[in-house]
Every structure is written in structure tokens, then in C-alpha cells.
Structure 1
Amino acid sequence: MTRYLLLPMQPTPNGTLHLGHIAGPYLRADILARALRRQGDEVSVICGADVYENWIQLPALRSNVSPETLCRNNGNAIHEDLRSMGIGVESWIDPLGEVDSGAYAALHNELLDRGVRGGGLFLKSERIPYAENTGRAVTGVWLLGRCPGCGLPAGGNCCENCGFHYQPDQILDPRSRLDEGRLIWREERSWFARADDPARIESRLSRLTGSPVFRDLAIRYLRSTGAEVRLTAPGDWGVANRIDGNGAVVCNTFFAYCVYCGEHFARLTGRPNPLREGADRDTQVVALAGVDNLVAALITPLVLSGCLPGTRGFDRVILNRFLLLDGAKFSTSRRHGIWVSDVAANKAISTDELRLFLSSLSLGEDEVNFDVAALIQFVNWHRRRLGSRIAEGEMEIRDIPAGAILQMLKGRGIPVQYAAVEDIRPDALLAAYLAWLSNDDVRRSDPALWRAALAFLVEPLAPLLAAELRSGRKGEEGILIRAGRDLVDADLRSIVHLQQEN
């Protein structure tokens, strides 16, 4: 038995969740947690809203509400979106909420203070663009230009096209997103961390990710930046820097957020925070993120755990490229996507069916297109296949221990136990489930065993279907009740948004 703490990237509450978000770290974390528990491991999943990401300022401005109000409304909606997709978390972090706000800010300043006092950080002067008319620091959400890596239009500090990360003075043809006049460049000092031995950081990447694609992208960034990580920044939104005046806000790094999640884990389980140095390393920490957060999830923790006394890094990082819709990236700002709230309100398709289809897409090192026609074809094939098998075998229910099912499946060569978390791939789990669905020998000789094993295999992917199979009752939100109906394009027309305008 192994203990795991799974930490999917905290979603930014600049809007609610669409399937592009779900298909990445959130569904992967939930499937991974369920599969690990199925093989007898202990798993905690902790997540929360990234309220101090400065990208939330733009939708707040456009909606004429405060960032706090936007974060509260969207943060609650995001938590509900996860629940409606069957994605469970043991603890939900709200850095602006009554429970977390004080402790969250205090931990960020504690880590900054540790780094400053321990000599692990250094002050760096940099050129920061300010808007002439408003005096706003034009960084993050406010900064537009072209990526210095690929030359295509980009903004903030990361190119969505090639994944390259950059500092404000590196972006080409910089300008403000708003009509704020020309840019005035000023020298500012902020705290940074730097790896003493970048080559050692590069060598450790292979222990964190098995993907050569993401490893090479990380190495490219390390060599272009000197393995530097920002700890403070100019700005007016974020955790206030209480240590000194070098950078108005403490950067809300994913690593510091995860250390805070570790505090929640310690309270929940009575075990030490696994991201604190000195704790027994009996809990494996796995971070999950999209490629746009490669630096935050893969590089920054390696650098910071070596520069902030009393901390330690992740054991494994699982990354994914973007999910596309109609050939373009899902986008909140362009309203291009399929939103979870619309899916939850649509009675023609179940969330389990979407989980199964998303599992088939093998989102990983490559971008994958979400094709609505392929979704309809998959759902209808699965409904007919499952409906015919259940109708033939019908509903003999027998309580069979999970251990017995596991041993039986192992004896038949069906993978149900895994040594490495990367091996627990949604598409592989789906293939095992579909193969068993077509196993006529066991279905005819022992229908109850076949059905129990089917529930066992599908549970990580489609938990509502697993409950239906175990109970023999068709749930209102489940698949079995829909098995006699075909899904048609008109059923989904209202939830697929292809608008491209800004």
C-alpha cells in the first residue's frame, strides 16, 4: 500500500470550467485517484481556486465587479463544476475565504522570509512596462505582443502556441491590452530564486516526468532563463509582500500553493506535510497540469525546493497538451468551448459518457481535437453494446469482494495494478473495460461475476455507471437509462459554442 497526495493545478476563477479544463489535470487526477484506491492505495486529492492569478482582473473589469466578487462567484461555480463531473476532492482551498485567507497569505510570506534569511534568493533589477496614462504595471493579463520563441501573437508570460515562457522585457512588440497610452519602462527590484546547479535540475527532470517532449521543453526554458524563478513582482493584486518592499506582491507560485495544500493534508490525515523537509517520505506527491503551466509545475518546484529551507519537491509531475474544439483551443475569453454547467443541465447525455469519451482521446504529449460527431458515434455504440449485454445477461447481483475480482482479472491478464502512476492512463483503462464488456465467455457462464468485474473496471472512468451495475438500478443521471436511445446532433447543439470573437 502506498499513500498519495494528488495536486491538480488550481483553476483560475476568471470563468467557469469547460471540457478543455476537465480533460486535462482534473479528470486525470480523479481517474488516477480511483484507480489507485481500487488497487488498495490511500489517496487524497486537494485542489482550490487560483484567486491571485492576475488574469482574473480582466473579466472583473469587463463585468464591472471587484476581483474578490468575481473569484467568489466563479470559485464556487468551479467547485460545483467538478462535482457535477464526478470529480471529488478531499479539501477545497479558497485563499480569499474565511478559513484559508490568513493562513494562505502567511505561508507565502513565511516561505519568502525563509528564502531571504537563508540566502537562497537574490534581488534582481528588471525593466517593467507601465502604462503612461494610468500608471498600471503592464504585466500578466495586461501585456500583449509576440512570443520571442515562435514569433506568433502572445501575451502574459507564456505562449499558448509553443509553450515558451518569457519575462516582460523579452516579449516582442509589447503593448497594453487596454488603451492606456504608450509604455514607460522602469527599473524595479524583485526577489528571484536561482538553481545553484542548473545541470542537476536538468538531470532531475527525468525523475519527475517520463515525457521526453515536456522534458525537452523544460530544458529549453532552463537554458534560456538560467533557471531563475520569480518570487515577488510589481502589481496591485495578490498576496501582499510583508517582508520588504522589493515587489509589491508575493507571487502565487503553484509550489507555495501546494505546500499549503500539504498543510490541509496534514490536518485531514494526521500525517506530516509531505512537502515539508524532515517529514517521513511515505506519501508520494503527484502534481498534474497543462503544458501552459509546465514551468509552474515542473521547473519552479525543483528550483524553489532547493532555495527555500524546510521544503521539498514533488515526486512526479503529469502534464498534458491542450484539447481543441473544431481545431481551435478551448477558450473562456472567446467563449469557444463546451461548458460543464451546460453539460450538467443537458439530459440527453450523461457526464459519465463524456468522461468515457474524454478518456478515449489520449490527451498527453499531443494536442487532440474534440470532435462532436465522434462523440455521438462513440456514445451510441457504447449505449447499444452495453444495453444489449445487460439485456442478455440481465441483473443477477452477487456481492463479490473486490480482492477476488482483482485476482480473477489479473489471472486473465487484464491490467488492474500498476507500479507507476504514469502507467494509469485513461485510454488504457477504457480499453480494458471495453474488452471485458465484449467477454462473452464469462458473461454467459457467470453473469454476476461478469457484471461485478465490469463495474470494477469502469469505476475509475464512469463512477455512476459502476454504481448502476453494482446495484442493478438505473440511475436518473446514468447511462443505463439512456441505453435504448440514440444521441443526435440536435441534442448537443445548444451546448457547443464555436464563437471566435473577442
Structure 2
Amino acid sequence: MTRPRILIAATPTPNGDLHVGHLAGPYLVGDIYARYLRAAGAPVTWTTITDDSQTYVVASAARKGTSPARLAAASTAAIERTLRGLAIELTRGTEQLLPPVDARYREAVTEFVAALHAAGRLRERTVRLPYAEQSGRHLYDGLLTGGCPACGAGSNGGACEDCGTPNNYDELRDPRSTLDPQEPVSIREERILVLPMEEYRAELEAHFAEVTPRWRPHPKQLIEQLLSRPLPDIPVTVPGGWGVPAPFAPTAGQIVYPWVEAMPASMYATWWANGQDPALPYDHYWRAEQGAELVFLHGFDNTYHWGLLDLVLLLAHGDRYIRPSANVVNEFYELEHAKFSTSRNHLIRGTELIEEGVPRDVLRFHLALTLPERARTNFTRAELALLTDRQLIAPWRELGDALDAALAGHDGAPLPVSAAAQARVAALAAELRASFEPGAFSVARAAARLSEHLAELREQAAAGTEPGDLLAGLRALLAWSAPILVDTAEAARAAGIDLGLTAGPVPDKIAPFRLPRLPVGPTGFAATPIEASTEAPIEASFEASVNAKAPVEALVQEKDDRS
């Protein structure tokens, strides 16, 4: 029996919409992977949940002149629209893609950390925290900025985006408030609860010895660097008022450190995506006895959190939970050779491109082909048009025309497939299947190979290849591109074409079919976008949602705006 798979994308922070840089990372990759696994017959849960408790929500809300609850609600709605617009198929069969951050969610977080406390895993520590004197706010993570103690680059608290190195408490150089860089900042001692990462060194080293051969070089190098030095304590509680209240008497009035929520949040999201059975505990599907295989998908800047911190949180529960068998880590996707930046308005949202007339199959293909798997890559509108026309749109159109000509006058009877064509299809399947194995996982390589196969089929058609052999290659093209070209795949299924990827011999006969046309106009992008919104433009509707009155019940516990 095939083991069930749980795919978890890094939890998006609801302080704004998703841009193309976000989409080209864990969200599109996870969606393509989940669709591949389903086509191959594997049971899959593919999910994530918004990270509402993050201080970045607090900081962005303050800058926008709204409350964290209003911003989180509006951002979650915008994120859902964007995911749906790109056909990111989280939580199949439900109208809602993202689980609600509700009372049941908060119960899950509380249960998770309370179990660690009851097991004696947490320790009290006195730590030094930056403190904004005038606003009376403890500064950490998104509320704090300064120089990375490892590489010197500008960094927020928690971990450096550039080098990935963690920084806790008072480790940033020249600490300042992100809300008011001129506000005086002092250092205050606070008593908090921590989880000592160093106590799990032996288990960590054993785990990474097993799994990091399947990691990409850059994040693997960071993990090795972190393990080569004393490991930091994980804050479990921190002073603050936005987040889940910490249920411990020694730290009354504090909240659960937002990064600690990721594991119970992901467990809760998995439970929610599987039907929200009230008879099952929130962590049911992550229990070791369920035997699921767990995969995390995230960016390099989250390697410390999703690669190390979250693993320790699982290890601290003993043998209760599964552990990730792989971390699929992407690098930065740049826009015009500079980082996507919401604050500088240097960004493009996926929904913007769709509304401009870029079909989502074309956009998904381009992002899959150019996404930053092992090094930074770059997005431009010009390359989107050029590459997709050269490597997808034009050859697909020409191949469809050639097939129509080859089948003209055919009576519809099954056509023979030669042994040579069967061997070519089997070799293609083996090559593409290897692109989805943990050690060599590469959506970009799969997309490139499909583009090559499309070009090969066009050449075969031009050379007068027998129609049965051509159809066998085309059927493989449609089946293997289905996780990327979702609307084209839907048209193929509607026409009765089998797109399953289960292993088996290539048939020696094939029923004729027509190649479904890509959802584009005759010379490029469609004039009418697919599923264009009838609502106001995304940015306008998002801002309106942020400024609207929030419901009485906030999505997460909110005492005040201080954290």
C-alpha cells in the first residue's frame, strides 16, 4: 500500500497579497507535486494555513493605520483569490482553500505547547529583549530591524533573510523599531520559557545524516553550518498581546512565540483538509502510527525555521509524530534582477498577470520553467512572452495542426504503436518520474523536459511519423504536463483522454484523439483572461477590505497592538 503523503507549504503571512515571487516558490511547486502524486495513485494531503500571529501582521497593520485582525482577514481573502486564480488546488473539494484561524486552531496550538511543558521539555530563561521606550513595545521578528550578527546585512529579528542565520533576543547590531526607526530602544530583561535546541543535537545529527543527501546544496550547507556551532534556545513564550496566549503560570500575560505555531498549525490544517472530523484529534494525521510521509516546501530564508526549529519541536514530543523526509527549498525569484518588495511596490501579483490576459496555464508553465530551485532566477514580462511563445505556444499550435492533418479522413479505429515508440514513451516516463523523487526533485527540469518532448513531437510530425506513434507521444505529453497545464488537462479529460500516471506497459494500440488547444489566442495570449474577476481590481478591493470594520470576533486573540 502506498504511504499517504502530507505536503505542507510555508505558512503565508497575511499582511498582504501573494506576489509572483511567492507563487514561484512553495505554492506552485507543492501544487504541481500534489497533482503528480494524485495522478500516480498516491493519497495526498496538500495544505497550508495563514500565519496570523506573526509580528509582520502587527507592523504592517500599524503602517496601514488598521488593526491586525482587519489586515489578516483582508489579506487571507486576497491570498485565497490569488491561489485560486493560479489553480493552486489546496484542500480539494471545498469552497474554502485555507483553514480558518479560529478557536479550534488556538486550542491546537495550546495543546501542543502545553504537552511540551507537561513533559518537562521547557526551561525558564532570563533573556535580553530590545524594547521601544516611547511606545512600550518589546521588539522581535518583524517589529525589529538591525544588522545581522553573522553577515552584517540588514535583517529583521528571528533570522537573516540573506544568509539564513538565526538571531534571537539582543543579537542584532544597532537594533531599531521597524515602526519608528528614530524611537529610542533599550534592552530589558524578561523571563520566558524556551526549548533548548542543543538537548536534541544527537537526534538532529542522526536525522540530517539520513535526509540531507536529498537536500539542495545551499540549504544543506546552512544546516551543516548551524550544526557546527552551539545551537540556540527556541523561544516558546514572549511578551506580547497579538497571538495565542501562553497557558503557563511562570509567563502569565505572554503569548506563544509565533514561529512555534507552525507545527501545530500545520497539523490542524491537515486535520481540516481531511474533513474536520470532530472525533479525531487535531494531530491525528501526523501521529507516527499513521505512517504518513511528510514533506515541507519553503524558501531558503525559512531554512532555519522550517528545517531546524520545527524539527526540534517535533523531536521534543518524543516518538509521537512523523518527521519530514524532505525539505524542498527554493531560492529567491527576482523581478527585473531585484528582490520582490511590497514596501517598495516592486512586485507583480499573479492575479495581475491573469487579469492582463495571461492564461494561467501559460503562467504556470513559465513559472515552473524559471522558478529558482538552486539559484536566484529572474522574472520579466518580456521573457514571459518570449519563452512561452517559443517553448510552448507556437510548437503546441503547430503540433495540433500537424496532428489534425495526419488524422484527416481516419475512421477512428485504434492505431498501432510501434515498439520503438513504446520504448521512447517509457524512457520519457522514467526520466520525468525521477524529477519527482526526493533526491532529484526538480519541477523546472520536468518543465524543461516537457518542452523538449513537445519540440521532438513537432519534428516527428513534420517528418511524417506514423499517427499511432505520434499519438502515443502526445498522450504522454498531456499526462505528464497535466500537473502544470491544468486547464488544458481538464479539456483533455473532458475529451476522454486518460491522463493517469500509474506505472505499466505502454499499450501497443491507441485510439485517435485531437490535441486540445492551449487556452490562448491564435498568435499568443488570449484577449479575454481566464476566470477574470468581476469584482473591483485586487489592490482596490484589498485596501477596501483592510479599511472596513472588523467583525466582533477577531480571527486570532487580540488584547492590544503591542507585542
TM normalised by structure 2 equals 0.77
Query: Is the contact between residue 397 and residue 517 of structure 2 (CA under 8 Å) also seen in structure 1?
Result: no
Partner of 2:369: 360
Alignment equivalent of 1:239, drawn from 215, 232, 244: 244
Cα distance in 2 for partners of 1:51, 1:215 equals 29
Structure 2 stretches lacking a partner, 5+ long: 416-420, 497-515, 530-536, 540-563
Partner of 1:248: 254
Alignment equivalent of 2:267, drawn from 259, 263, 277: 259
Cα distance in 1 for partners of 2:232, 2:205 equals 10
Cα distance in 1 for partners of 2:413, 2:14 equals 45
Cα distance in 2 for partners of 1:314, 1:274 equals 16
Partner of 1:298: 307
Cα distance in 2 for partners of 1:365, 1:259 equals 28
User: Letter of the aligned partner of 1:318 in structure 2?
Assistant: V
Matches within 5 A, 1:279-318: 279-281=289-291, 283-309=292-318, 310-318=320-328
* Secondary structure, aligned partner of 1:168: coil
For the structure 1 residues 94 and 130, does the alpha-carbon distance in structure 2 shift closer, same or farther, using more than 3 Å as the test?
Answer: farther
C-alpha deviation, 1:407, in angstroms: 9.0
Query: Is the contact between residue 80 and residue 98 of structure 2 (CA under 8 Å) also seen in structure 1?
Result: no
Structure with larger RCO (C-alpha < 8 A, sep 6+): 2
C-alpha deviation, 1:127, in angstroms: 0.4
For the structure 1 residues 65 and 225, does the alpha-carbon distance in structure 2 shift closer, same or farther, using more than 3 Å as the test?
Answer: farther
* Secondary structure, aligned partner of 1:161: coil
* Secondary structure, aligned partner of 2:398: helix
For the structure 1 residues 93 and 472, does the alpha-carbon distance in structure 2 shift closer, same or farther, using more than 3 Å as the test?
Answer: closer
Query: Is the contact between residue 298 and residue 330 of structure 2 (CA under 8 Å) also seen in structure 1?
Result: yes
Query: Is the contact between residue 451 and residue 470 of structure 1 (CA under 8 Å) also seen in structure 2?
Result: no
Matches within 5 A, 1:48-447: 48-90=49-91, 97=100, 100-179=101-180, 181-195=183-197, 196-209=199-212, 210=214, 211-224=216-229, 226-246=231-251, 248-252=254-258, 253=260, 254-265=262-273, 267=275, 273=283, 276-281=286-291, 283-309=292-318, 310-347=320-357, 349-381=358-390, 382-394=392-404, 409-410=425-426, 414-418=430-434, 420-437=437-454, 438-439=456-457, 440-441=459-460, 444-446=466-468, 447=470
Cα distance in 1 for partners of 2:172, 2:233 equals 17
Cα distance in 2 for partners of 1:365, 1:102 equals 39
The C-alpha deviation readout for 1:372-397, integer Å capped at 9, x for no partner, is: 33222112212111111111112979
C-alpha deviation, 1:481, in angstroms: 4.5
Partner of 1:7: 8
Stretch moving more, 358-367 or 146-155: 358-367
Cα distance in 2 for partners of 1:224, 1:57 equals 33
C-alpha deviation, 1:118, in angstroms: 0.6
Cα distance in 2 for partners of 1:199, 1:306 equals 11
C-alpha deviation, 1:168, in angstroms: 2.8
C-alpha deviation, 1:341, in angstroms: 2.2
Matches within 5 A, 1:460-479: 460-471=483-494
* Secondary structure, aligned partner of 1:170: coil
Cα distance in 2 for partners of 1:138, 1:124 equals 17
Cα distance in 2 for partners of 1:481, 1:266 equals 32
- Cα RMSD of the aligned pairs, angstroms, is 3.2
C-alpha deviation, 1:416, in angstroms: 4.4
For the structure 1 residues 114 and 57, does the alpha-carbon distance in structure 2 shift closer, same or farther, using more than 3 Å as the test?
Answer: same
Query: Is the contact between residue 164 and residue 304 of structure 2 (CA under 8 Å) also seen in structure 1?
Result: no
For the structure 1 residues 93 and 482, does the alpha-carbon distance in structure 2 shift closer, same or farther, using more than 3 Å as the test?
Answer: closer
User: Letter of the aligned partner of 2:122 in structure 1?
Assistant: L
The C-alpha deviation readout for 1:141-193, integer Å capped at 9, x for no partner, is: 22111111111222222222222220131100111123363112111122111
For the structure 1 residues 35 and 245, does the alpha-carbon distance in structure 2 shift closer, same or farther, using more than 3 Å as the test?
Answer: same
C-alpha deviation, 1:67, in angstroms: 0.8
The C-alpha deviation readout for 1:82-115, integer Å capped at 9, x for no partner, is: 11101101176767x4xx5111111111121111
Partner of 2:476: 453
Cα distance in 1 for partners of 2:311, 2:146 equals 29
Query: Is the contact between residue 237 and residue 256 of structure 2 (CA under 8 Å) also seen in structure 1?
Result: yes
Query: Is the contact between residue 330 and residue 337 of structure 1 (CA under 8 Å) also seen in structure 2?
Result: yes
For the structure 1 residues 66 and 406, does the alpha-carbon distance in structure 2 shift closer, same or farther, using more than 3 Å as the test?
Answer: farther
C-alpha deviation, 1:483, in angstroms: 5.0
User: Letter of the aligned partner of 1:420 in structure 2?
Assistant: E
C-alpha deviation, 1:352, in angstroms: 1.3
Cα distance in 2 for partners of 1:356, 1:146 equals 38
Cα distance in 2 for partners of 1:459, 1:307 equals 40
C-alpha deviation, 1:223, in angstroms: 4.5
Structure 1 stretches lacking a partner, 5+ long: 498-502
Query: Is the contact between residue 125 and residue 189 of structure 1 (CA under 8 Å) also seen in structure 2?
Result: yes
Cα distance in 2 for partners of 1:417, 1:406 equals 16
For the structure 1 residues 266 and 88, does the alpha-carbon distance in structure 2 shift closer, same or farther, using more than 3 Å as the test?
Answer: closer
- Identity level (%): 25
Query: Is the contact between residue 274 and residue 285 of structure 1 (CA under 8 Å) also seen in structure 2?
Result: no
C-alpha deviation, 1:224, in angstroms: 4.5
C-alpha deviation, 1:472, in angstroms: 6.2
Cα distance in 2 for partners of 1:143, 1:431 equals 41
Query: Is the contact between residue 192 and residue 232 of structure 1 (CA under 8 Å) also seen in structure 2?
Result: yes
Partner of 2:507: none
Query: Is the contact between residue 275 and residue 314 of structure 1 (CA under 8 Å) also seen in structure 2?
Result: no
Stretch moving more, 247-256 or 409-418: 409-418
Work out the number of aligned pairs and report it: 478
C-alpha deviation, 1:35, in angstroms: 1.3
Cα distance in 1 for partners of 2:329, 2:441 equals 14
Query: Is the contact between residue 451 and residue 469 of structure 1 (CA under 8 Å) also seen in structure 2?
Result: no
For the structure 1 residues 13 and 421, does the alpha-carbon distance in structure 2 shift closer, same or farther, using more than 3 Å as the test?
Answer: same
Query: Is the contact between residue 326 and residue 371 of structure 1 (CA under 8 Å) also seen in structure 2?
Result: yes
For the structure 1 residues 2 and 135, does the alpha-carbon distance in structure 2 shift closer, same or farther, using more than 3 Å as the test?
Answer: same
